[in-house]
Amino acid sequence: MSTLYLVATPIGNLGDITLRALEVLKSVPLIAAEDTRVTQKLLNHYQIQSRLISLYDQNESRRIPFLLEALEQGDVALVSDSGTPALNDPGYALVNAVIKAGHRVSPIPGACAPIAALISSGLPTNHFLYLGFLPRKVAEQKRTLQAISPLPYTLILLESPHRLIKTLYSLHENLGNRRVVVAREITKLHEEFWRGSLAEALEYFSSSSPRGEITIVIEGAPLSAAKWGEAELLKAIKQHLEAGMSAKELSLHLAKASGWQSKEIYHRAIQSKPSTKKASSTTQR
């Protein structure tokens, strides 16, 4: 069977592509790219002449049958505009379809903006939670942030320049005044790592309009020195359930921060879940 290669491409500096990535892009007869115009510049730079087709969010489902057919004839590479494909970029549905069809999926690792920002942030790297882009709706964003607020993990998220201030404000309001690193234009000419508190970040970026690709790294919640009270635990369980977490997931997430055992948390989460049974009614005559 043929192979779908997930090829990481540079996030800025063209020199950050790996030798193996170049070998794969040269050898495959077909490359599926998020934006063929962006990828064509990379291919021209390295004199690669493999055929290009587009694969983006709006056409991914329509492209899958064609790409599965192409895999019957030979290998295919998938790339995004920059960084690692299928990570907040098109590819998730394709990867699952390729696996289901019995073909191989092989990663060609390389540049990844969230990891590059994390390791350069100066914040703990042993445990972290990648959030991608936060929900755009205010209520949904608030629920998400309140659900993860007690977690002791370093948080990583992506944001566009024009939404940075709103996001920083929301982070400060829901997480408190934590340490934060705003990474901008990683590996590019105007690379910047701004470090400070969320309150200081709001002040700084309100007077200095940011440009370029932005990754935000936020300090996790401090580890609790004492075991949470039951009321505090039940409040956190409710927030996590409302955010869509399962009882099993939230029991693992809250165990370390709360001082409660995961089994105890799981039991209380099951009890806190609203009943899905419809109330029966009886008519008396």
* pLDDT tens-place string over residues 2-33: 999 999 999 999 999 999 999 999 999 999 99
The token pair at 27 is: 């050898």
3-state secondary structure of 262: helix
Q: What is the pLDDT of residues 263-283, one digit of tens each?
A: 889 999 998 877 644 444 444
Question: Where is 131: in which H helix or E strand?
Answer: strand 128-132
Q: State the Cα–Cα distance between residues 36 and 44, nearest whole angstrom.
A: 12
Beta partners for residue 78, in sequence order: 6, 32
At 261 the pLDDT is: 80
CB 9 within 8 A of CB 17: yes
What's this model's pTM, rounded to 2 decimal places?
0.77
* Token pair belonging to 36: 């063929």
Contact in structure between 181 and 216 (CB atoms under 8 Å): yes
Per-residue model confidence as pLDDT tens digits over 153-188: 999 999 999 999 999 999 999 999 999 999 999 999
* Res 141 pLDDT > 60: yes
What CA–CA distance (Å, rounded) separates 107 from 7?
A: 6
Please give the helix or strand (H or E) that residue 158 lies within, else none: strand 154-159
Of residues 72, 102, 82, 86, the one with CA closest to residue 35: 82
Determine the angle formed by the axes of helices 230-242 and 262-272, rounding to 10 degrees: 60
What would the two tokens of residue 48 be?
């690669």
pLDDT tens digits along 75-91? 999 999 999 999 989 99
CA distance 203 to 264: 42
The torsion angle over the Cα atoms of residues 203, 127, 106 and 85, rounded to 10 degrees, is -10
Q: For residue 4, what are the β-bridge partners?
A: 76, 105
Other Cβ atoms less than 10 A from the Cβ of 133: the count is: 12
Average pLDDT value over all residues in the chain: 91
